[in-house]
A = this chain, B = another copy of it.
């Protein structure tokens, strides 16, 4: 076993090239602890940088080059991400579920024409894409969605409501799960649709929430309700064929359930919390003199490390071509629950100061700590709750069943 990559001279050369290019092209955008504070101007800079990355195939470096991806190996993609990380810049540098989730679904399930049409604009960064899954009556039970897309000639007519959608600053496209045949049996009644967001009949409205975090590299800013009122979309945009929406969803859900992380890095919160603890005092004495403070920090560290290692295992095994089953959901579950226990450890160590929001002078670590206090709660639900991860783990391990559930198709 080898827990570190050894870089070849060729790979190091690529890294040097990437570093130089990034240095020349990367925009300077403040690191907002709360992504909701990203301005429209800053967002446009991100998009512009994305298009430049896309032109080189570096926006989605491991996706096939023929559709605008980079066609790069996992190792080179990792080098690229590490270099971007110096500027605290994720890949893509804005919230875009187009390539991360939808792109793979299109790659696996799309017709040649659909791939040729949709993938290049996604992978080159020409469009940014939201995902539209959850509805007021359909959360964990995604297959019970009610938004309909009824075929009418060469178009589908879409009606319904999606919630917890997207981010700030809009999107050019969304992909969504819809009911194409209200009379068909469960799981056979669905379609998977690429929806241009500028069609008539679409209304986007911001939700009022405790917080909207967004994971690293997917900082979403805000969430919206999206209403569809007789929206007419070309039938061409249905990917995977009528009645196959659940299978197509299986592909992007497989990624979302724990395989979204690409290169695996240390959680930057760890060092922020440790820094605080090393410098803080109570009653004039170092905070670290308290054994329970040290214990809590160690708990924190272990949570972060185990999460890192499980994601790392998954990343490495995917690279080695080993079939993953329960491991994605396991890492995701660990990550989610780890956020909660880390949030409590932080509150225990810092006291109410952990609850002070930037830009207040008392905010810890420029507000990253307060954002984490809120985000840890909110992070429990997107991409499937902890309970849903447990459902997946149980089925994939074959607990109580002789036949284990198969993972969704990834190629």
* A residues lining the B interface (CB < 8 Å): 290-292, 295
Contacts and interface: CB of A to CB of B under 8 A. Distances in A.
5 contacts: A290-B291, A291-B291, A291-B292, A292-B292, A292-B295
A200 to B, nearest CB: 42
Nearest to A291: B291
Nearest to A290: B291
A303 to B, nearest CB: 19
A357 B290 CA distance: 36
Contacts of A295: 292
A295 B292 CA distance: 9
Nearest to A295: B292
Contacts of A291: 290-292
A178 B292 CA distance: 55
A78 to B, nearest CB: 40
Nearest to A292: B291
Contacts of A290: 291
Q: A-B pairs with the 4 shortest C-beta distances?
A: A291-B291, A291-B292, A292-B295, A290-B291
A291 B291 CA distance: 7
A295 B295 CA distance: 12
A83 to B, nearest CB: 43
A349 to B, nearest CB: 15
A295 B290 CA distance: 13
A288 to B, nearest CB: 13
A110 B290 CA distance: 63
A291 B292 CA distance: 8
Contacts of A292: 291-292, 295
A358 to B, nearest CB: 34
A394 to B, nearest CB: 15
A292 B299 CA distance: 14
A299 to B, nearest CB: 12
